[in-house]
């Protein structure tokens, strides 16, 4: 994983290679997640899987630890949206 700063908000980000071969900008703080099909939350696992999830739940039933895509929290994400 390489580390840079977001060009929009200046926050530190890490780049995680996805299974599709692209690098996803993510927040560097790991988060606990609960996998849930079609949930609005997204997490990128350290091995590059993108998972739909929730960020709250019974800690005993947590799925794992991952990283939130930076676009989910960046106040400037609309500046980078394509189309």
pLDDT tens, 34-81? 999 999 999 999 999 999 999 999 999 999 999 999 999 999 877 776
Which residues, in sequence order, are bridge partners of residue 44?
50, 67
Give pLDDT, residue 79.
78
pTM: 0.88
User: How far is residue 36's CA from residue 55's CA, in Å, rounded to a whole number?
Assistant: 10
Give pLDDT, residue 81.
66
The alpha carbon of residue 81 and the mean position of all alpha carbons in its chain are separated, in whole angstroms, by 16
pLDDT grade for 6, boundaries at 50, 70 and 90 = very high
> How many domains are there within the chain?
1
Q: Which domain holds residue 18?
A: 2-79
**Strand (E) positions, 1-80?**
2-5, 12-17, 23-35, 41-44, 50-54, 64-69
Residue 27 has pLDDT above 90, yes or no: yes
Residue 1 has pLDDT above 90, yes or no: no
């Amino acid at each position: 994983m390489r580390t840079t700063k977001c060009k929009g908000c200046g926050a530190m980000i890490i780049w995680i290679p996805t299974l599709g071969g692209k690098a996803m900008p993510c927040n560097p703080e790991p988060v606990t997640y609960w996998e849930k099909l079609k949930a609005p939350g997204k997490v990128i696992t350290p091995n590059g899987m993108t998972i739909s999830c929730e960020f709250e739940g019974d800690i005993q039933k947590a799925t794992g630890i991952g990283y939130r895509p930076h676009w989910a929290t960046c106040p400037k994400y609309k500046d980078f949206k394509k189309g």
